[in-house]
Amino acid sequence: MNKVGILVFVLFSSEFFPFGNSVNVTTRPDVVNIGALFSFNSTVGKVARVAIEAALEDVNSEPGVLNGTKLKLTMQDTNYSGFLGIVEALKLMQNETVAIIGPQLSVTAHLVSHIANELHVPLLSCAATDPALSSLQYRFFVRTTQSDLFQMAAIADIIEYYEWRNVIAVFVDDDHGRNGISVLGDKLEESRAKISYKAPMRPGATRNEITNLLVKVDLMDSRIFVLHTYPDWGLEVLDVAENLGMLGSGYVWIVTDWLSTVLDTYSPVSSNVIANVQGVVTLRMHTPDSKQKTNLVTGWSNLTSRKASNSPFGLSTYGLYAYDTVWLLAHAIDKFFSQGGNISFSKDSRLAQLGLGGGKLPFDALSIFNGGELLLKSISEVNMTGVTGPIKFTSDGYLNHPAYQVINVVGNGYRRIGYWSNYSGLSIVPPEILYRKPPNRSSSTQQLHDVIWPGQTTQKPRGWVFPNNGRELRIGVPNRVVYREFVSLVQGPDTFGGYCIDVFTAALNFLPYALPYKLIPFGDGHNNPKVSDLISQVSAGVYDAAVGDFAITTNRTRMVDFTQPYIESGLVVVAPVRKRNPNEWAFLRPFTPMMWCVTGIFFLVVGVVVWILEHRINDDFRGPPKRQIVTVLWFSFSTLFFSHRERTLSTLGRVVLFIWLFIVLILTSSYTASLTSILTVEQLSSPVKGIDSLISTGDPIGYQRGSFAENYLSEELSIPKSRLVPLNSADDYAKALKDGPKKGGVAAVIDEHAYMELFLSTQCEFSIVGSEFSKMGWGFAFPRDSQLAVDMSTAILKLSENGDLQRIHNKWLKGIACRSQGTKEEVDRLQLNSFWGLFVLCGFACLLALLVYLVQIVVQFARHYPDSEELASSSSGSSRPARIQTFLSFVGEKEEVVVSRSKRRQMERASKRHRSDDGSLSNLNTSVRNEV
């Protein structure tokens, strides 16, 4: 009976004849069969083979790892073939293999994973990086290296860091290449970038095929290339690119980690190879430094010389992960046995029935690993530290803390310019240091060292050039019949002139490349073309761009990209105006009714306050009631002309009067200026005051045919289309406005401010009423995500900064005969809002003066009038009304009278006390005499 039979018997016996709860019957076999699938002659395979064999020796030399059990490894060469990978995997599984390290290639892993699912044999791949292998479909596939999901996220962050928007992906057209680039596209979309073109290569493509592919992509506008392939073919691609001049100045090549694998494996790299990759940016899986890693790296040369038949080679990160994979599997098998797992297999009835023709395939030799589920669980729960650092799986099956080094190939080697991790993004600090801090992915923390780009330049490439393929840009230009100062078709074959054309041609001079183009008229020349139709044809690819007077609106930005606005414009209302002649009441116009009312009230208030403050001490403010009322009114309004005759004697009265005279000075100065403007400047009035009053009238409204004003008025302002009248030319505008609604015309015309300035230059009987009710600008239109739109925007900003934009504006739009005055009545009239601060100051001064005056009166009353007891004794009724009546009488008396009466009373009191004292002395003398 073999060992497997003994194990089955033991399991059967323990199930039906239990020995008791305290007895754990678990037998560890002497040998556990594992397998490995690699392409031995590949860059990754040769390193992985040596690393796996070295790890196997280390595991088997330490009895404490598996407690006496040894791992027996069988390696098979797949030779870059998916079919051979299946055959070799079947061979391994005929030998009761419990786990397979590999496959190396993602293509093979997709195929073999189906077998692993059927036979419950875990696959531990340290080289297959295809993100699709992490799906739930491949339950028994375990990736023991980093997934390309994170590598593509790192590349997307690099592209975002340098603010590029379009990239070209060159990749091998298999599962590995397609799925990786698909993930890259998803990651780029998160940062508002995209893959503008995908250039797939056939696996094993010839040099001619690679050349044809690169020639094609070189004709495109993007200069950012992402190369995702295998090491051997990748070097061929870069060699062809070098020969085609695609590794010169202005180009950017971002290569996945296959290049760093080549540099590590074949170091030092030959001069021919290193010359073809100058300035290339690549990635390398980051593994923190440790004593274990140092020991393996130090002894690597001895391992390769002893185990490899050919010349020694370097240790790449894939070799490190291969070494750790063996240790990971060993720990998992040990845990498998500790949890009661047993090595046993059972036949699959479906496989035994398979056959082909008269013979039979050896499928009956394949068996299902009964402990596969438990071993898979043990693998996912491993938590150890290897040469690549801490090894632990996330709930999604990825290794914890994925990180990469960002490498720039320069000179005879390379330099590390930073790191990337999904914890903190790009940084110049190793990820293991950042793991101790809170995660921070803000743009300010993203950092990389300077890169030496292809062409030996440190200046960041723009990433885009105009394609040098000889094709002219087809630029649509509206063939306008009105406002030809902006765009007009002049004499010559499709020749245009005007303000917009001059801005476009001037901006072209600031582009760092030549831009061949052809202006194509859009429209029949009899009616203004509809701008939205031209914009939609740019979006559809009929035109490569559109140049003209295009307002940048929300609906249009959904179809195309616009440049930086080169002129500001907005919708305005133009209506007929008539001259307002000054009449007999013109002097009332400077102030609004509210302003007149408030000013008059404050005149009276100040007069009353000054009267209160001066009444007790100033004879000018005393007399009969009728005279005092006249005095208050006269004093109040005479201050308007600074001609008041009454003097002010009190300090409080002078303070109040000083503040009031200052306010009067400002009011009279403002009134004079406004009245002068009203009487000397022509005043225009219109029944239409602005867009709100125009909407409320219900009268017809004119607009320029073909402009966006129609949709804006009907959709945004909810004006019925039955009220909107399309007009073609300036003459149509003038006629419709002169006729008015009663004669079949319009009440007003709504158009953009730039157009209306030209219209009003010769039509002075019309004017802009109200203010602009929409703010927008004009720009040139390009297809979505066009880099040319970005470059043209930069050029327009330069035109604005150096003054060329203003000079072009003055050339075409400066000569305007009569300016649009607008309805100035409301502007010239002075509002209360402009003076409310002065009135508040005056009111506060009056109130404060009255409070201080009241305190002074109370103090004087207490000092100069009899005390409350005397008042109470002399009063027959209640003391409080008498006291109030006395106080009011006191307030109305002149201060001199109060003072003299107070002195007289004091003298009388003193005299009474003197007589009282004399009477007391006489009585005392009489008493003394009587006693004597």
Are residues 665 and 805 both part of a single domain?
no
Give the residues across from 166 on adjacent strands.
194
Considering the domain architecture, whether residues 675 and 709 belong to the same structural domain is answered as: no
Tell me, what CATH number does 215's domain have? Answer: 3.40.50.2300
Do 439 and 386 share a structural domain? no
Same domain, 439 and 421: yes
Residue pair 424/441 in contact by the 8 Å Cβ criterion: yes
273 and 153 in a common domain? yes
Q: Looking at residue 59, what is its pLDDT?
A: 94
Q: In this structure, what are the phi and psi dihedrals at residue 7, rounded to the nearest 5 degrees?
A: -65, -40
Q: Token digits for 766?
A: 């019309």
**What residue type is 546 in one-letter code?**
A
Q: How far apart are CA 58 and CA 323, in angstroms?
A: 10
> Is position 747 within any domain?
yes
Same domain as 271, residue 166? yes
Whole-angstrom distance, CA of residue 92 vs CA of residue 440? 47
Q: Are residues 643 and 736 in the same domain?
A: no
d(CA 85, CA 81): 6
Dihedral-angle region of residue 455 (phi above 0 means left; psi in -120 to 50 means alpha; beta otherwise): left
Location of structure tokens 């003054």: 803
The C-alpha atoms of residue 89 and residue 108 are separated, in whole angstroms, by 10
Q: Cβ–Cβ contacts within 10 Å for residue 12, how many?
A: 10
Residue 375 tokens read as 């071993």
Structure tokens at 23: 């007895």
Contacts (Cβ under 8 Å, ≥6 apart) of 164 = 193, 224, 252, 463
Residues 590 and 563 in one domain: no
> In this structure, what DSSP letter does residue 132 have?
G
Handedness of CA 46, 48, 50, 52 (dihedral sign): negative
Residues 718 and 759 in one domain: yes
CA distances from 385 to 293, 331, 375, 388, 389 (A): 11, 11, 20, 8, 5
User: What is the structure's pLDDT at 112?
Assistant: 93
Structure tokens given for 135: 């799906």
CA–CA dist 480, 483 (Å, integer) = 7
User: Per the structure, how many domains does the chain have?
Assistant: 5
The alpha helices in 346-457, defined as continuous H runs, are: 349-352, 372-380, 431-434
Per DSSP, the residues of 575-639 read: EE-EEE---TTGGGTTB-HHHHHHHHHHHHHHHHHHHHHHTTT-GGG-SSHHHHHHHHHHHHHHG
pLDDT along the chain (932 residues), means of 10: 36 35 58 93 92 94 89 91 87 90 92 92 94 91 95 96 92 94 94 91 92 92 93 90 93 96 88 90 95 93 78 90 96 93 82 52 76 94 94 92 95 93 94 90 89 93 73 88 86 79 92 84 85 92 93 90 91 79 64 81 82 72 74 75 71 80 81 72 63 85 86 87 88 88 89 86 81 86 88 92 90 63 50 76 83 78 57 49 66 64 67 62 50 46
Domain with 520 in it: 473-569+778-813
587 vs 677: CA distance, rounded Å = 11
Q: Token digits for 298?
A: 């130090």
Strands (E), 758-842: 766-769, 776-778, 781-782
SS3 1: coil
Residue 134 lies in a domain: yes
Across the strands, what pairs with 224?
A: 252
At 803, which CATH number?
Answer: 3.40.190.10
Q: Using the 8-state DSSP alphabet, how is residue 256 labeled?
A: -
> Looking at the structure, do residues 559 and 597 belong to the same domain, yes or no?
no
CA distances from 89 to 111, 377, 879, 918, 922 (A): 10, 22, 121, 145, 150
Reported as type and span, the H/E element at residue 265 is helix 258-265
Task: Provide the total of helices (H) and of strands (E) in the chain, helices listed first.
Answer: 34, 33
At residue 192, the pLDDT reads 83
Compute CA distances 613 → 116, 631, 799, 842, whole Å.
107, 14, 68, 15
Evaluate whether 47 touches 322 at the Cβ level (below 8 Å).
Answer: yes
* Domain termination residue (choose one: 775, 801, 824): 775
Q: Are 373 and 346 in contact (CB under 8 A)?
A: no
- Please, are residues 345 and 369 in contact by the beta-carbon 8 Å criterion? yes
Instruction: Tell whether omega for the bond before 29 is within 30 degrees of 0, i.e. cis.
Output: no
Q: Do 154 and 216 lie in a common domain?
A: yes
Query: Which of 775, 803, 828 is the endpoint of a domain?
Result: 775
Strands (E), 699-784: 701-704, 724-727, 748-752, 766-769, 776-778, 781-782
pTM of the model: 0.66
In a domain, 59, yes or no: yes
Bridge partners of 253, per DSSP, are: 225
Answer whether residue 577 is part of any domain: no
Q: Clarify whether residues 279 and 154 are in a common domain.
A: yes
Return d(Cα 810, Cα 813) in angstroms, integer: 5
> Residue 260 in contact with residue 43, Cβ under 8 Å?
no
